[in-house]
């Protein structure tokens, strides 16, 4: 590694230590800290992997080391800017008195598993049949007219499958304890492996751990080691399957039988040299968030021009659901639909490559290096402020909101457009949880109303009396509702 890379890694390590001290090691409860960790993985840890396994990352054929050196210094300073402002918000929040909340502090404990399972089952079935959550494609490939990649189920599964699976896993851990952690993640891996996307397995596992951490549940060191093994095994299975059977077995329209057969072939071939090579290459190149940013930064230093916030407007326009605007895809060009494609076109990058744009790698295209540093400062402030709001109580709504922020942090590598789309999902889930909480409070208010069984008498809670059929209650004969009382015979 060059001196510039070492300098960048040192800056990133200092940012990690600073935030780790401020959050007191509670990374699972802090979505803003997870965003920082994701940035360090894509811009720092990846350079360590490139040095350990040189020549395996095809992304690096597009750049030379000097471009990487220039970019990693800039992005490391941007990461430090984010850490400073985010850490400042965390420090300020510790000085404030916590808000008092009189009720609704049960977090995820009151969510009903049958309803959650009923919600996620159609999404899992559709995904297994190739009509739900699908693997991502390069911009040009995504533009192809593939009927199976459209439809309501595809949109719903793509946005809601992973977070709902994560919520279900967290509910199980909150109710029955951390001893179920490894079995829960194993079941998640089996179900989500049918989608053929490694990120879905990782995200669902991390969201489950976030939900548990928000309730004060932390895995032991042994459990952490087992979790790493389980998640790594399923991600390696997908890489092996792609190497043996090809990526097309997970394309839109591929049935569940074809997917299961391919996964079995991948499992039986995971020990072969071909599979091991594919697994290693996937790990190395799928975390390279520096190539895209280095190419954009080099273009800006030459004849390239900043694109401003035009792509943000396009991203917001794409948030309109397809059922409300069926023509939104047909009436917009590829560059208007995809921020990555827009930046590719503006800076001469190939649209046939499935780049890892990352948030900071895309943001540098907006207003150049100075704009990158300013936006990183603002991003740290915004993430810190929203996180403080989400963590001020343990209501169901705020816990789900915090988990949604965690998924936004996990989507760092996909760029701002994916994060904005994820925020739409977060808003929908929060509104759904708010409606559930309102109905629960309304039902409780009706149950405890004066004059009703279990209501209040003289300001005190009236006890509920229940008796088994055929038994007497408090010395009196049991009378059914709606029947006149029978006279007592005295002689």
pLDDT, tens digit (0-9, with 9 covering 90-100), for 232-246: 999 999 999 998 888
**Which residues make beta-bridge pairs with 460?**
457
**Which residues make beta-bridge pairs with 308?**
none
CA–CA distances in Å: residue 223 to residues 117, 180, 231: 25, 10, 12
Q: Which of 81-90, 238-247, 271-280, 312-321 has the highest mean pLDDT?
A: 81-90
DSSP 8-state class, residue 456:
E
Q: Which of 73, 78, 54 is nearest to 5 (CA)?
A: 73
Range 184-189, long-range pairs (CB < 8 A, 24+ positions): 184/208, 185/227, 185/230, 185/231, 186/230, 189/230, 189/231, 189/233, 189/234
Tokens (6 digits) for 133:
């959550």
Supply φ then ψ for residue 460, to 5 degrees: -110, 155
Where do we find the tokens 């040299």?
Answer: 273
pLDDT for 228 equals: 95
* Boundaries of every domain in the chain: 1-97+289-393+408-442, 100-281
Q: Give the residue-averaged pLDDT of 82-101.
A: 79
CA 26 remoteness from chain centre:
18
Q: Give the SS3 label for residue 316.
A: helix
CA 77 remoteness from chain centre:
26
Q: Which of 19-23, 162-166, 210-214, 430-434 has the lowest mean pLDDT?
A: 430-434
Q: Give the residue-averaged pLDDT of 193-211.
A: 92
| pLDDT band for position 478 (cuts 50, 70, 90) | very low
DSSP 8-state class, residue 338:
-
Let me know: does 387 contact 175? Beta carbons within 8 Å.
Answer: no
Q: Give the residue-averaged pLDDT of 110-115.
A: 86
Q: Give the residue-averaged pLDDT of 347-365.
A: 92
Contact residues for 369 (Cβ-Cβ < 8 A; gap 6+): 74, 297, 300
Does an H or E element contain 457, and which? strand 456-457
Q: Name the E strands within 60-212.
A: none
């Amino acid at each position: 590694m060059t001196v510039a890379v070492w300098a960048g890694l040192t800056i990133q390590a200092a940012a990690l230590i600073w935030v780790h001290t401020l959050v007191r090691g509670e990374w699972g409860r802090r979505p803003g800290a997870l965003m920082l960790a994701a940035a360090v993985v894509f811009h720092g840890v990846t350079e360590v992997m490139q040095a350990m396994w040189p020549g395996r990352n095809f992304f690096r054929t597009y750049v030379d080391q000097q471009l990487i050196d220039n970019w990693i210094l800039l992005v490391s300073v941007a990461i430090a800017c984010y850490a400073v402002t985010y850490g400042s918000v965390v420090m300020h929040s510790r000085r404030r008195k916590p808000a008092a909340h009189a009720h609704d502090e049960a977090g995820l404990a009151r969510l009903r598993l049958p309803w959650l399972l009923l919600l996620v089952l159609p999404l899992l079935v559709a995904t297994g049949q190739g009509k739900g959550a699908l693997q991502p494609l390069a911009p040009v490939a995504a533009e192809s007219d593939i009927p199976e990649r459209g439809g309501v189920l595809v949109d719903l599964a793509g946005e809601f499958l992973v977070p709902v699976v994560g919520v279900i896993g967290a509910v199980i851990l909150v109710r029955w304890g951390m001893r179920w952690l490894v079995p829960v993640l194993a079941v998640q891996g089996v179900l989500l492996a049918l989608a053929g996307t490694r990120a879905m397995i990782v995200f669902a596992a991390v969201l489950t751990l976030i939900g548990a951490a928000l309730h004060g549940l932390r895995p032991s060191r042994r459990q952490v080691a087992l979790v790493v093994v389980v998640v790594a095994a399923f991600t390696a299975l997908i890489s092996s399957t792609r190497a043996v059977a090809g990526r097309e077995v997970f394309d839109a329209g591929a049935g569940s039988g074809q997917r299961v057969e391919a996964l079995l072939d991948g499992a039986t071939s995971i020990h072969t040299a071909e599979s091991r090579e594919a697994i290693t290459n996937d790990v190395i190149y799928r975390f390279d968030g520096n190539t895209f940013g280095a190419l954009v930064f080099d273009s800006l230093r030459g004849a390239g021009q900043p694109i401003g916030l035009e792509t943000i407007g396009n991203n917001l326009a794409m948030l309109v659901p397809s059922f409300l605007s069926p023509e939104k895809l047909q009436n917009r060009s590829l560059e208007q639909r995809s921020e990555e494609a827009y930046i590719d076109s503006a800076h001469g990058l190939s649209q046939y490559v499935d780049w890892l744009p990352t948030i900071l790698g895309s943001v540098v295209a907006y207003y150049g290096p100075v704009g990158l540093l300013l936006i990183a400062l603002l991003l740290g402030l915004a993430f810190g402020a929203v996180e403080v709001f989400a963590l001020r109580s343990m209501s169901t709504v705020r816990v789900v909101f915090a988990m949604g922020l965690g998924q936004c942090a996990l989507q760092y590598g996909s760029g701002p457009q994916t994060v904005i789309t994820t925020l739409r999902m977060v808003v929908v889930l929060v509104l759904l949880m708010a409606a559930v909480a309102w109905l629960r409070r309304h039902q409780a208010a009706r149950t405890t109303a004066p004059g009703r069984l279990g209501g209040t008498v003289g300001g005190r809670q009236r006890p509920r009396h229940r008796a088994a059929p055929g038994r007497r209650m408090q010395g009196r004969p049991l009378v059914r509702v709606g029947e006149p009382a029978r006279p007592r015979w005295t002689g």
